[in-house]
Amino acid sequence: MDGSADRYDRRAFLARGASGAAALGLAGVGVPALLAGCSSTPSSTGRTQTHGVSTGTPKRGGTVTMGLNSEIDGFLPTASHWDNSGLTYANTIFDTLTVVAADGSAKPYLAQSVTPNTDMTQWTITLRPGVKFHDGSPLNADVLLANIQALQTSALTGQALRGVVSSASKVSDLAVAVSCVEPIVAFPYYLSTQVGYVIAMAQLESQSSTQPIGTGPFSLVSWVPNDHMTVQRNPHYWRAGLPYLDGVTYKPISQDQSRENSLRSRTIDLMVTRDPGAIRDLANAAGYQQVRNPSVGQGDMDFIVLNTSVEPTNDPLVREALARAIDVGELVRLFGAGIAKPNLSLFPPGSPYRPADNGYPTYDLTKAKQLVAQAAPNHGGTISVALATITDPRLVNEIQAIASMWGLAGIQTTVSQVEQVTFIDNLVTGKFQAYTSEQFGAADPDLNYVWMSPTTANGPIALNFSRNKDDALETALQAGRTTSDPTARAQAYQEVDKHLSRDMPYLWASLATWSVTGSDSVVNFNNMTLPDGSRALGFANGVFNPTPMWREA
Amino acid sequence: MLRFAANRLFQLVVICFLISIFAFLLVHLLPGDPTLAILGPNDTPAARAVLLHQLGLNKGLLSQYGTWITNIFHGNLGASFLTKQTVTNALGVAVPIDLELIVVSQVLALIFAIPMALVAALRPNKAFDKVATTSTFGMLSLPTFVAGPLLVLVFAVTFKWVPATGFNRLSQGLGPNLKSVILPSVALAIGSITVYYRLLRADLIATLQEDYVTMARSKGLSTRYILLRHVMRPSSFSLLAGAGISIGTLFTGAFVVEVLFQLPGIGYQLVQAIYSRDYLVVQGMALVAAVAFVVVNFAVDFLLTVLDPRVRRA
């Protein structure tokens, strides 16, 4: 049953946080499509309006209620497992050192500047002066240093930082120097993720996950898990004039249909969803504005992750047979609600990192049958695969369809649902053959290093869930990580995509579709600006920031 | 009467004790390891050893039970490893929701079921009886996961009279509070109306055929007087027993409705906790729900003995 739906999104676990970036939604082979950033509709004046953006004069006051798809487990960046809802909560209470701008670059936010040395092995973070936490304490280098050290020693975030940060030291009252283990070109992007949120010294010392103290636009009023989280305006917010609202209430509503009903009944003002049916229904409904995943960066991908360290998925022939037996087009037609589009690559169409042809095996049932016949003798005469997903009715239907496709190729498939916590545990401990997954949403491809590097594929606990150990892949990942030349980076990540297509640890399906839909009374909810006046990326992969919005009525 | 009450009270204590053992063992009987759920990817032998020590899971079962039950008597049911919220606080959120759902849904059910049963029993197999029996039979086959969304579609989405999800506490005003519970209560009441109607109707028809009713009629007493004074009380035993079971079950059985309407009642939170192996929450919630079930049925038993002293001697 659901309800479960979503502990950690209940789909996203250590996810975006642990990696410091990459999103690990454990949803599934779904739908999606990296859709154009914002929808546009003609207004009554005939002028085209961009959804979620207002050119009107901001109105102060009022409150907004927003429905999210999951509940979080706390407000401590070093210990809490933040999925898209967790990061939305975090954007409300805290600030990140950098924010991804609409052009895809990482720009200083709580930091005034983030500057590298010549070889990018050391980055100096200089904080904005005069910023205070909700408890009135100042943001300074001591606090930042303590935050970084806590992140390094945390069992959760330490794994992600191990390959990035070696040490940190105070440079001045407002500056901290971070030494990296190697040149980390994408370092500023890391500071826009879970490891980039700065909490007050008092919270660091108390290690409280229920009493957050941040510098963010709102401060906590009450949090009742599974019911609501209410915040009030921070009157001393460092960004003068912001936020406009007096308060925001978030309600975790695990069922997509219940969330949609709540929006339509005006029980809530805004909702986040990744359900293509709900996205389609609300897209053309009058009185609503809808914003979908932006076309900048890399969206979450829906795919099946194969364990390359266990029988029979350790056999490349079996993996290719599985890939060739899936008719992704049909799958998307069945479950995509007209919203989704197939995507057989790590990167979306239009990405500079996507090669013209990555060589990923396309649907070919005859070839799949041949591969099964070829591989079967090495696996006791038959190919049997256990395919599982979380307890989500939509995903269960999808894996049943996939099992049926595999069956046509002669692959025996057992289908099962696994509750979320066990699902995650099985992924990290390697106790699976084929699991649905939703992952890899990132503003910079290096943020996904931890999930696919052979260096994290060893041992009983591995963040490279597929346990794919390809030295050539590591070489390409390293090239992308340490090279600042855009052309060289593009070539490196194109190589990454090609290696993944050859190794097939992931059976690609489609790009995950996320959307935020609001009633017309709530405006400007996707028009976050940065201190330098440029526009922020805004809503992406289910993560929302309430700072720029206001209520019209 | 006092002896009967003392006897039942003793039974209640014994049952609650057994329930506490079962609730305690429940988590240990579940597949999987709670420490794995807590540690996740940080599940190293060293970390696990520390956690086992912290949670007291490295001790014997008897010792663990002793600590757990002692803490309960001190009002400490533990805390969620996930949200750090104490189980007592979680119950503070859940219990008012369940209590209100139960009260409103059962009042609604009785308001509809009793008059319908009275009218139907007075004229069995006539038009009203046939219509009522058929329609309640139809309602019985309407599960809450169908009734709930239909109610939401009509009254929340279309007319926008009530919220589709969420719970407004009484402190937010009686109007908002009632608006937030009316749909889930109706969804729950639909099943109860059917059961109560059929139980009461059958008993009423049987009682109306008793000799003393015929005697009362022959004495010229009004039908209304006979029904209310002589027939209702002896016909309400099955109804009461049914209500006892129904109310007790709703403490956790309202789960489906709670998910549909996003109400964090006991059932909803219990299932969430099971999914995340939040074992202290599972233990606490299961214990409270089971004890509530037993206490409600104890109260109903007691009420039955008041209505019919023969029950005491049975």
3 state SS for B254-311: CHHHHHHCCCCCHHHHHHHHHHCCCHHHHHHHHHHHHHHHHHHHHHHHHHHHHHCCHH
Nearest-Cα residue of chain B relative to residue A253: B262
SS3 annotation, A384-396: EEEEEECCCHHHH
Collect all residues of chain A within an 8 Å Cβ-Cβ radius of residue B179.
none
For residues A347 and A21, give the distance between their C-alpha atoms in angstroms, rounded to a whole number. Answer: 16
The average pLDDT across B264-286 equals 86
**What is the pairing mode between strands A270-273 and A63-68?**
parallel
Q: Of B30, B42, B87, which to mutate for an interface test with A (greatest number of A Cβ within 10 Å)? A: B42
- pLDDT of amino acid B311: 67
- Within an 8 Å CB–CB cutoff, is residue B125 touching chain A? no
For residue A48, with 0-12 CB atoms within 10 Å meaning exposed, 13-18 middle and 19 or more buried, which class applies? exposed
Q: Give Cα separations from A172 to A125, A127, A201, B167 (angstroms).
A: 10, 10, 18, 50
Collect all residues of chain B within an 8 Å Cβ-Cβ radius of residue A465.
none
Nearest-Cα residue of chain B relative to residue A2: B259
Query: Is the pLDDT score of A43 beyond 60?
Result: no
Name the residue facing B262 among A156, A159, A258 (closest C-beta).
A258
For residues B255 and B111, give the distance between their C-alpha atoms in angstroms, rounded to a whole number. Answer: 24
Q: For chains A and B, what is the number of CB pairs under 8 angstroms?
A: 139
Query: Is the pLDDT score of B45 beyond 80?
Result: no
Tokens at B205, concatenated: 């028809």
**Cα-Cα-Cα-Cα dihedral sign, residues A396, A399, A401, A407:** negative
Collect all residues of chain A within an 8 Å Cβ-Cβ radius of residue B273.
none
Query: Is the pLDDT score of B32 beyond 70?
Result: no
Query: Is the pLDDT score of A12 beyond 70?
Result: no
Rounded to 5 degrees, φ, ψ at A175 are -130, 140
Nearest-Cα residue of chain B relative to residue A227: B264
- pLDDT of amino acid B81: 80
- pLDDT of amino acid B313: 62
Percent of the residues in chain A that have a pLDDT greater than 70, as a whole number: 91
pLDDT tens string A246-281: 999 999 998 888 999 999 999 999 999 988 989 999
Q: Of A63, A71, A82, A265, which to mutate for an interface test with B (greatest number of B Cβ within 10 Å)? A: A265
Q: Give Cα separations from A229 to A121, A123, A181, B80 (angstroms).
A: 40, 36, 39, 17
pLDDT tens string A302-349: 999 999 999 999 999 999 999 999 999 999 999 998 888 899 999 999
Which has the minimum average pLDDT: A322-336, A343-357, A386-400, B274-288? B274-288
Tokens at A160, concatenated: 């992600």
- pLDDT of amino acid A21: 33
- Distance, in angstroms, between B12 CA and closest chain A CA? 32
Percent of the residues in chain B that have a pLDDT greater than 70, as a whole number: 94
Q: Of A85, A223, A267, which to mutate for an interface test with B (greatest number of B Cβ within 10 Å)? A: A267
- pLDDT of amino acid B131: 93
Tokens 């606080």 correspond to what residue?
B89
pLDDT tens string A24-39: 333 332 322 222 334 4
Name the residue facing B40 among A14, A255, A266 (closest C-beta).
A14
- Within an 8 Å CB–CB cutoff, is residue B149 touching chain A? yes
The average pLDDT across A36-47 equals 41
Contact A261 B165 (CB under 8 A): yes
Cis peptide before A77 (omega within 30 of 0): no
- Within an 8 Å CB–CB cutoff, is residue B163 touching chain A? yes
Cβ(A424)–Cβ(A412) below 8 Å: no
Collect all residues of chain B within an 8 Å Cβ-Cβ radius of residue A13.
40
> How many C-beta atoms lie closer than 10 Å to residue B174's C-beta?
9
For residues B165 and A3, give the distance between their C-alpha atoms in angstroms, rounded to a whole number. Answer: 13
Q: Of A261, A266, A288, A423, which to mutate for an interface test with B (greatest number of B Cβ within 10 Å)? A: A261
| Stronger pLDDT, A122 or B305, i.e. the higher one | A122
> How many C-beta atoms lie closer than 10 Å to residue B159's C-beta?
10
- pLDDT of amino acid B276: 76
Instruction: Return the DSSP state at A513.
Output: P
- Distance, in angstroms, between A12 CA and closest chain B CA? 13
Which ranges of A293-378 would DSSP assign to H, the alpha helix? 316-325, 328-335, 365-375
Contact A226 B268 (CB under 8 A): yes
pLDDT tens string B137-187: 888 888 888 999 999 999 999 999 999 999 998 888 999 999 999 999 999
The average pLDDT across A370-384 equals 96
| Stronger pLDDT, A33 or A419, i.e. the higher one | A419
Confidence (pTM): 0.86
Nearest-Cα residue of chain A relative to residue B163: A267
Give the B window 171-200 contacts with A, CB below 8 Å. Answer: none
- Alpha carbon A172 to chain centroid, angstroms: 34
From the list A391, A340, A286, A287, the residue with the least C-alpha distance to A515 is: A340
**Cα-Cα-Cα-Cα dihedral sign, residues A22, A25, A31, A32:** negative
Contact A262 B40 (CB under 8 A): no
